[in-house]
Chain A
Amino acid sequence: MHTDVLQSIESKEWYMYRWLLCFRYLRTRYIALASIISVTLGVATLIVVNSVMAGFSAEMHERLHGLASDILIECHASGGMPDPDGHLEEIMNVCGDDVVGSSASVHVPAMLGIDFNGQLITRHVNFVGLDPETYDNVSHFGRYLLHPENQSQVDFKLREDGYAPDREDFPGSGWLYRRARVAYERALAEEKARLEAIRKPANSLSPENPGPPVGGPSMQISPPQIFNENSEIAASEFDPAVEQFPGIILGISTCSTRMRDENNNVRDHYYCRPGDDVRMMFPNASDNAKVVNQKFTVVDMYESGMSEYDSTFAFCRLDQLQEFRGMIDPATEVRSVTTIQLKLAEGADLNAVRDALRRRFPPNVYAYNIQTWRDMQGPLLAAVRLETTILNILLFLIIAVAGFGILATFFMIVVEKTRDIGTLKALGASGGGVMSIFLSYGLLLGFVGSGAGLIGGLLFVDHINEIASLIEKVTGQEVFDPTVYYFTEIPTIIHPFTLVWVMAGAVGIAIIASVLPALRAARMHPVKALRFE
């Protein structure tokens, strides 16, 4: 049994002279190692770069796509498009087979006002009134909210507590916080009134007393004074400790900044948190637009990881926004929306559906902009694609350099093996047979080099985060700055197709590089080779 195994291993050695010889050459020519290593490095780099790029772009696609819905029909008229249900019916007539979900919403530019330490912080935002029932059908929304219950079912009511359970530095939020804040504010107001009452006589004596600070940072939390209170109905009866304004969900970057503290740790600073009240100012839907000024209570925050979204979006309920903007026809009760989003079936042709819809709603008649999510993110996606292509070209140049290394090495080996080539020919080997030794050798070099590169590259990709943190430790330089990227880890995706073409490319270059030396060996005159010293 034992000898049988030995026998079979041995007999593999005899497989064929060309393989036998090129295996032996590989084992005994250390100079070939240099070419192998350059192929290995090239292949490993290509694999690492491609998987990181693929990871990035997939993450980006996923997020962009998740946020944007497959098809977006925007109405540019400020009053929006009336009767979304009628529109939807028409859309279903055009491409009903492909549509698996739809949601209507109102998008309006708005100004967000946050009172922070007596200062007013204003941000320009994209204010979206959405239908909580259907919005999650067309795009990922809930999953980016901070409260776990909101993640499964969005609700614009303030929750008691439990926001962002996995974040240590997230400030206390919800009703718990709101009640505490109101109680504190009330106590403060009472104390102030008491002090004021005591000071009153003294006050009249000193006219230089500046009075309470206005519009500068202070430790006091005072109710917003900058806003005129005209839009609030029965403000005196509103008890913030138990009541809330209409709920609003803010993009996390609209109300926070991210920076490093003195210990170089990344910290978020929040201007407001769930439980605080903010103010939104946005135009109403009439032709003669007027500003609507409305208080909202922050009920959650939205963090998608795409800074473009997180720093520009704010969400509230569709029906409330329609009311505030006057998008309900008083006579017919028909509501208007500005946007219809569609989710298409898996594998549906986005562009075909878009074009069909564009034909149904021609732009010269309707002020509609119909786009796929790719159209919207076109420049970004194109930039990533271009970057990937250029990197690939550059890295393949590395392998091409390795190919020239192989070429030079092989010419040397052919010269060194001249007498053996003569011997092989004297033993009846054909020119093709001799040539195939060197071609096989190139093939083998390519396989060994790119195989080692494959393994190295895959291992590198597998441990890329450990490697990144190691580099951070050694250089003190953060590889991935979390103030810039929202990725905590480097995303990687290994496409088998990429592996195949990188391997095929490397092996192909190795073979091409061995063709010339192999031809030279094949053409060598046997007598000259035999007489070669």
Chain B
Amino acid sequence: MARKMNSETVLQARNIHKSYHKDRIEVPVLRGVDFEVTSGLVTALVGRSGSGKSTLMHLLATLDQPDCGEIHFQGERIDNAPRSRRDRYRNHDIGIIFQFYHLLPELSAIENVLAPTMIGKSAWNFFLHRKEARRRAEAMLDRVGLLHRATHKPTEMSGGEMQRAAIARALMTDPTLLLADEPTGNLDTETGLDILKLLTNLNQDDGLTILMITHDDSIAESADRCHRMQDGQLQQELPELQIA
């Protein structure tokens, strides 16, 4: 609770515009999004399907670049940073989980969890710290309650288990911020609630900052902050107002 008092801005988006081009027709998706994520909080981003939530998340994760606008991570402009900095940002500073888990099918759960460390470190450096990395991966799997499935391939796991493995993978490099794009979107209600509980626990116990993207208002209600995506723009909804 103490952490929540410290309201430092982790991620800030300013006047983001993004449109797609299909057959020379411009499809505007984001039209001047202003938005920030505060440290230690769960920030929800709700909106109807197709409203541009994933588009925004891809921009925040530097997987794509905005047409105009700026994205700042802890005060540092990240959207036009050099390629290597953006790779490092994705690898080390943030963790991402997806609706469709995006685990690597050739690798077992623990190998998937280790993947960010393998990617982030040179072969030799990784080799030197492999035992430490393995211990951390096991700890992460344990944290999400999946240690008994460590050697299983994604095809041998259920959706909930895959999402847990994906969360463990996102936590592997101890990120400052977790981006979750509809983490429950592909799960049944009960499993989805388990995953949400896990994320809430991570926030409350470990102080993990989470940006949760969802189309489900009931999920958004449990967040500390809530933003609604509408017509390519974001409006903050205060939880107090929602209750009232």
Contact A21 B61 (CB under 8 A): no
Q: Which of B7-15, B66-74, B81-89 contacts A (4 or more CB under 8 A)?
A: B81-89
Question: What residues of chain B lie closer than 8 Å to A423, measured between beta carbons?
Answer: 102-104
Within the complex, what minimum Cβ distance (angstroms) separates B61 from chain A? Answer: 7
**Does A424 sit at the interface, judged by CB under 8 A?**
yes
Q: Which of B44-52, B118-126, B184-192, B198-206 contacts A (4 or more CB under 8 A)?
A: B118-126
Contact A13 B111 (CB under 8 A): yes
Question: What residues of chain B lie closer than 8 Å to A11, measured between beta carbons?
Answer: 127, 130-131, 134
A164 and B217 CA atoms in complex are apart in Å by: 104
Q: Which of A20, A28, A419, A530 has the most CB of B within 10 A?
A: A530
Question: What residues of chain A lie closer than 8 Å to B169, measured between beta carbons?
Answer: 427
Contact A20 B123 (CB under 8 A): no
Q: Which of B88, B103, B119, B131 contacts A17 (CB 8 A)?
A: B119
Contact B133 A428 (CB under 8 A): no
Contacting A at CB under 8 A, from B85-113, are 87-92, 96, 98, 102-107, 111
Within the complex, what minimum Cβ distance (angstroms) separates A428 from chain B? Answer: 2
Question: What residues of chain B lie closer than 8 Å to A527, measured between beta carbons?
Answer: 58, 63-64
**Does B32 sit at the interface, judged by CB under 8 A?**
no
Q: How large is the interface on B (under 10, 10 to 19, 20 to 34, 35 or more residues)?
A: 35 or more
A422 and B101 CA atoms in complex are apart in Å by: 12
Contact A21 B126 (CB under 8 A): no
**Does A425 sit at the interface, judged by CB under 8 A?**
yes
CB-based nearest B residue for A28: B106
Q: Which of A15, A422, A425 contacts B126 (CB 8 A)?
A: A15
**Does A497 sit at the interface, judged by CB under 8 A?**
no
CB-based nearest A residue for B179: A426
Judged by DSSP, the binding face of A is helix
**Does B115 sit at the interface, judged by CB under 8 A?**
yes
Question: What residues of chain B lie closer than 8 Å to A425, measured between beta carbons?
Answer: 63, 90
Question: What residues of chain A lie closer than 8 Å to B115, measured between beta carbons?
Answer: 17, 424, 427
Question: What residues of chain B lie closer than 8 Å to A151, measured between beta carbons?
Answer: none
Within the complex, what minimum Cβ distance (angstroms) separates A300 from chain B? Answer: 70
Contacting A at CB under 8 A, from B165-209, are 169
Contact A14 B120 (CB under 8 A): no
Q: Which of A14, A21, A428, A433 contacts B116 (CB 8 A)?
A: A428
Contact B118 A426 (CB under 8 A): no
Contact A14/B134 with A428-B87, A433-B119 known, Cβ cut-off 8 Å: yes
Contact A24/B130 with A423-B102, A426-B90, A427-B91 known, Cβ cut-off 8 Å: no
Contact A16 B123 (CB under 8 A): yes
If A427-B169, A430-B83, A430-B84 are given as contacts, then 9 extra A-B residue pairs at C-beta distance below 8 Å, sorted by A number, are A11-B127, A15-B126, A16-B118, A21-B104, A28-B106, A419-B102, A424-B119, A427-B91, A427-B116
Taking Cβ atoms with an 8 Å cutoff, the residues of A that contact B are 11, 13-17, 19-21, 24-25, 28, 419-420, 422-431, 433, 525-527, 530
Taking Cβ atoms with an 8 Å cutoff, the residues of B that contact A are 58, 61, 63-64, 83-84, 87-92, 96, 98, 102-107, 111, 114-116, 118-120, 123, 126-127, 130-131, 133-134, 169
